[in-house]
Amino acid sequence: MSELYKLGIEEAAKGLEKGDFSSVELTRAIIDRVHEHDGEIGAYLTFDEEGALAAAKVADVIRSGKNAASSSQALLGIPVAIKDLINVRGQPCTCGSKILKGYVSPYDATVIKNLKAAGAVCAGRVNMDEFAMGSSTENSALGRTVNPYDTSRVPGGSSGGSAAAVGGDLAIAALGTDTGGSIRQPASFCNCVGLKPSYGRVSRFGVTAFASSLDQVGPMTKNVTDAALLLQGLAGHDEMDGTTPDIPVPDYAKALEGATLKGVKLGLPKEYFIDGLDPEVKAITDAAVKTCADAGAEIVDVSLPHTEYAMAVYYIVAPAEASANLARFDGVRYGHRSDKSDNVFNLYARSRAEGFGPEVKRRIIMGTYVLSSGYYDAYYGRALKVRTLIRRDFEEVFKKVDALIAPVAPTAAFKIGEVQDPLTMYLNDLFTIPGSLAGNCSVSIPAGFTASAHLPVGVQFIADAFCEDKLLRIGKAFEDIVPPVRG
Amino acid sequence: MENPAIDVAYVAELARLELTDEEKSVFQPQLENIVKYVEKISSVDVDGVPPTLHGHAVVNALREDVVRPSMDREEALANAPDRTGDEFLLPKIVEGAES
Distances (CA, A) of B97 to A331, A349, B90, B92: 22, 22, 14, 8
- The whole-angstrom separation of Cα A272 and Cα A303 is 9
Active site residue A254: no
Record: contact B37-A243, CB cut-off 8 A = no
Q: What per-residue confidence (pLDDT) applies to A68?
A: 46
Note whether residue B73 is domain-resident.
no
Give the pairing of strands A265-269 and A298-302.
Answer: parallel
Q: What per-residue confidence (pLDDT) applies to B99?
A: 46
Record: contact A439-B50, CB cut-off 8 A = no
Compute the CA torsion angle A220, A120, A215, A101 (nearest 10 deg).
-100
Whether chain B has a CB inside 8 Å of the CB on A1: the answer is: no
- Looking at residue A197, the DSSP 8-state letter turns out to be P
Taking Cα atoms as reference points, which of A144, A148, A91, A31 lies closest to residue A413?
A148
Q: What per-residue confidence (pLDDT) applies to B93?
A: 76
Strands (E), chain B: 83-84, 87-88
DSSP alpha helix (H) spans, A295-432: 310-325, 344-355, 358-371, 382-397, 422-426
Q: What per-residue confidence (pLDDT) applies to A62?
A: 94
Whether chain B has a CB inside 8 Å of the CB on A343: the answer is: yes
Domain that holds residue B19: 1-41
- Which residue in the set B1, B39, B90 is minimally distant from A347, CB to CB? B90
C-alpha distance from B29 to closest chain A C-alpha (Å): 11
Whether chain A has a CB inside 8 Å of the CB on B97: the answer is: no
Note whether residue B1 is domain-resident.
yes
Mean pLDDT of A470-484: 96
One-letter identity of residue A431: F
Task: Supply φ then ψ for residue A366, to 5 degrees.
Answer: -60, -45
Residues whose CB is less than 8 angstroms from the CB of residue A34 and which lie 6 or more positions away in sequence, other chains included = A43, A44, A47, A124, A170
**String of b and e for B23-49 (b: at least 16 CB within 10 Å)?**
beeebbebbeebbeebeebeebebeeb
Residue from A365, A375, A433, A467 whose CB has the most chain B CBs within 10 Å, to mutate: A365
Distances (CA, A) of B36 to A212, A316, A366, A384: 25, 12, 12, 18
- The whole-angstrom separation of Cα A336 and Cα A352 is 8
Q: What per-residue confidence (pLDDT) applies to A65?
A: 85
Note whether residue B20 is domain-resident.
yes
Note whether residue B6 is domain-resident.
yes
Mean pLDDT of A232-239: 96
Whether chain B has a CB inside 8 Å of the CB on A387: the answer is: yes
C-alpha distance from B78 to closest chain A C-alpha (Å): 8
Q: What per-residue confidence (pLDDT) applies to A37?
A: 97
Note whether residue B14 is domain-resident.
yes
Lowest pLDDT segment from A71-80, A88-97, A477-486? A71-80
Q: Chain A window 216-255: which residues touch B at a Cβ cutoff of 8 Å?
A: 239, 242-245
Mean pLDDT of B5-34: 96
Measured over the CA atoms of residue A285, residue A287, residue A289 and residue A295, the dihedral's sign is negative
The count of domains in chain B is 1
DSSP string, A54-115: HHHHHHHHHHHT--S--GGGTTTT-BEEEETTB--TTSB--TT-GGGTT-B-SS--HHHHHH
Residue from B37, B56, B68, B95 whose CB has the most chain A CBs within 10 Å, to mutate: B56
Note whether residue B17 is domain-resident.
yes
- Which residue in the set B6, B17, B35 is minimally distant from A349, CB to CB? B17
Record: contact A213-B53, CB cut-off 8 A = yes
Note whether residue B68 is domain-resident.
no
- The pLDDT tens digits for A36-66 are 999 999 999 999 999 999 999 999 999 998 6
Q: Looking at A158, A159, A436, A442, which residue is catalytic? A: A158
- Model confidence at A157: pLDDT above 70: yes
- Model confidence at A210: pLDDT above 70: yes
Provide, rounded to the nearest whole percent, the portion of chain A with pLDDT above 90: 94
Residues whose CB is less than 8 angstroms from the CB of residue B4 and which lie 6 or more positions away in sequence, other chains included = B32, B35, B36, B39
pLDDT band at B1 (very low <50, low <70, confident <90, very high): very low
Q: What per-residue confidence (pLDDT) applies to B98?
A: 54
Quick one: which H or E segment has residue A187? helix A184-189
CB neighbour class for A358 (10 Å; exposed up to 12, middle 13-18, buried from 19):
middle
Provide, rounded to the nearest whole percent, the portion of chain A with pLDDT above 70: 98
Collect all residues of chain A within an 8 Å Cβ-Cβ radius of residue B75.
106-107
One-letter identity of residue A290: K
Collect all residues of chain A within an 8 Å Cβ-Cβ radius of residue B56.
198-200, 245, 439, 465
Q: What per-residue confidence (pLDDT) applies to B92?
A: 80
Q: What per-residue confidence (pLDDT) applies to A304?
A: 98
Residues whose CB is less than 8 angstroms from the CB of residue A397 and which lie 6 or more positions away in sequence, other chains included = A267, A269, A302, A303, A304, A404
C-alpha distance from A202 to closest chain B C-alpha (Å): 13
Collect all residues of chain A within an 8 Å Cβ-Cβ radius of residue B63.
239
- The pLDDT tens digits for A372-423 are 999 999 999 999 999 999 999 999 999 999 999 999 999 999 999 999 999 9
The better pLDDT of the pair A269, A276 is held by A269
- Inter-residue contact A162 to A191 (CB < 8 Å): no
Active site residue A400: no
- The pLDDT tens digits for A97-124 are 999 999 999 999 999 999 999 999 999 9
Residues whose CB is less than 8 angstroms from the CB of residue A199 and which lie 6 or more positions away in sequence, other chains included = A213, A214, A216, A243, A439, A440, A465, B54, B55, B56
Q: Looking at A23, A83, A196, A470, which residue is catalytic? A: A83
Q: What per-residue confidence (pLDDT) applies to B61?
A: 80
CB neighbour class for B59 (10 Å; exposed up to 12, middle 13-18, buried from 19):
exposed
- Inter-residue contact A160 to A187 (CB < 8 Å): no
- The whole-angstrom separation of Cα A120 and Cα A123 is 9
Q: What per-residue confidence (pLDDT) applies to B96?
A: 65
Residues whose CB is less than 8 angstroms from the CB of residue B50 and which lie 6 or more positions away in sequence, other chains included = A385, A388
- Model confidence at B3: pLDDT above 90: no
Note whether residue B76 is domain-resident.
no
Could you count the other beta carbons within 10 Å of the beta carbon of residue A156? Answer: 38
Q: Chain B window 59-88: which residues touch A at a Cβ cutoff of 8 Å?
A: 61, 63, 71-72, 75-76, 78-82, 88
- Looking at residue B77, the DSSP 8-state letter turns out to be H
Q: What per-residue confidence (pLDDT) applies to B34?
A: 96
Taking Cα atoms as reference points, which of A179, A420, A374 lies closest to residue B30?
A420
- Model confidence at A341: pLDDT above 90: no
- The whole-angstrom separation of Cα A194 and Cα A192 is 6
**Domains of chain A, each with CATH number or no CATH:** 4-255 (3.90.1300.10), 265-311+379-481 (3.90.1300.10)
- Inter-residue contact A105 to A87 (CB < 8 Å): yes
- The pLDDT tens digits for A160-204 are 999 999 999 999 999 999 999 999 999 999 999 999 999 999 999
What ipTM was reported for this prediction? 0.93
Q: What per-residue confidence (pLDDT) applies to A125?
A: 98
Q: What per-residue confidence (pLDDT) applies to B4?
A: 52
Residues whose CB is less than 8 angstroms from the CB of residue A117 and which lie 6 or more positions away in sequence, other chains included = none
Collect all residues of chain B within an 8 Å Cβ-Cβ radius of residue A215.
none
Please, what's the largest Cα pairwise distance for chain A? 70
CB neighbour class for A229 (10 Å; exposed up to 12, middle 13-18, buried from 19):
buried
- The pLDDT tens digits for B25-75 are 999 999 999 999 999 999 999 999 999 987 776 777 888 899 999 999 999
